[in-house]
Amino acid sequence: MSLRPVQVNIKAVDPPAVARFWARALGWTAYPGETTYVGPTGGLRWPHPTAIGIDVVGVPAPVAGTRLRLRLSTGDGPTLTDPEGNEFPVRDGDPTPVSAITLDCVDPRAMADFWSRAIDWPLREVTDEHAVLRASGPSLEFHRSPVGRTAPDRLHLDLLPHGDTTSAAEVARLRDLGATDLDVGQGDDVSWTCLSDPEGHEFCVLARPRSDVAEDLSSSTSD
């Protein structure tokens, strides 16, 4: 596959507090920098072979949308919130490493079809109410909701090209699949491309791996 989900981006008014929460909840490590990456302890590995990390980005004011959530266990259980109100279901109140990334959508079948072709993950389950994609690590799940996108999302996926492909080639392929360009005020000088899927879920295609900065970030970790 040519694109890999490597992190969930969380927009936060207080990034250090949100990053500390997720690092402690998951037993991971927070790597401060221009943004704060939260991932498994043992040094920054980006992309990680089995985990999808969390990248906490500062914003000046709260962002409304919460259609993407992290599930911290398998099975059904209570839904909790982090310090800025981001919901995450757990089982028996006992958080475990991220087991699923869930998205609310109007048409789970159509969303699963788009995302399966986008990231080449096989379809494991599909009904009119629910669909699941899974390769290794967390699954990507789609749950039917009658309400479409009404506000910018607080959380979104970041995808990383790998192998012989380039970000420009992958962005062009995604547009052919039905993705559209998204202007969130990023300007023209950023190294990533903001897109939205056919139902308006925001996501980004990153231009380069972070392996070249892993050593610097690993030397300045915080729990």
CATH number for the domain that contains residue 98: 3.10.180.10
Distance of alpha carbon 156 from its chain centroid, rounded? 5
Q: 97 lies in a domain?
A: yes
pLDDT-derived band of residue 45, with 50, 70 and 90 as boundaries? confident
Cα 53 to Cα 98: distance, rounded to the nearest angstrom: 9
Tally of domains within the chain = 1
Q: Say if residue 188's pLDDT is above 90.
A: no
Contact 218, 43 (CB under 8 A): yes
Q: Say if residue 56's pLDDT is above 60.
A: yes
CA angle at residue 8 from 16 to 61, to 5 degrees? 50
Residue 12: give the domain boundaries: 3-218
Cα 30 to Cα 223: distance, rounded to the nearest angstrom: 6
Of 107-111, 161-165, 185-189, 219-223, which gets the smallest average pLDDT? 219-223
Q: 181 lies in a domain?
A: yes
> Which has more confidence, 59 or 184?
59
For residues 95-102, give the mean pLDDT: 78
**Contacts of residue 210, Cβ cutoff 8 Å, sequence gap at least 6:** 37, 44, 46, 217
Q: 89 lies in a domain?
A: yes
Strand partners, 178: none
Q: For 212, which DSSP code?
A: G
Strand partners, 85: none
Cα 5 to Cα 160: distance, rounded to the nearest angstrom: 6
The token pair at 90 is: 């757990």
The token pair at 177 is: 């699949």
> What's the mean pLDDT when you consider all of the chain?
83
pLDDT-derived band of residue 174, with 50, 70 and 90 as boundaries? very high
The pLDDT of residue 149 is 64
Q: Say if residue 4's pLDDT is above 70.
A: yes
Residue located via tokens 């290794």: 136
The pLDDT of residue 222 is 47
Contact 18, 84 (CB under 8 A): yes
Question: pTM for the whole thing?
Answer: 0.85
Q: Say if residue 150's pLDDT is above 70.
A: no
Q: 223 lies in a domain?
A: no
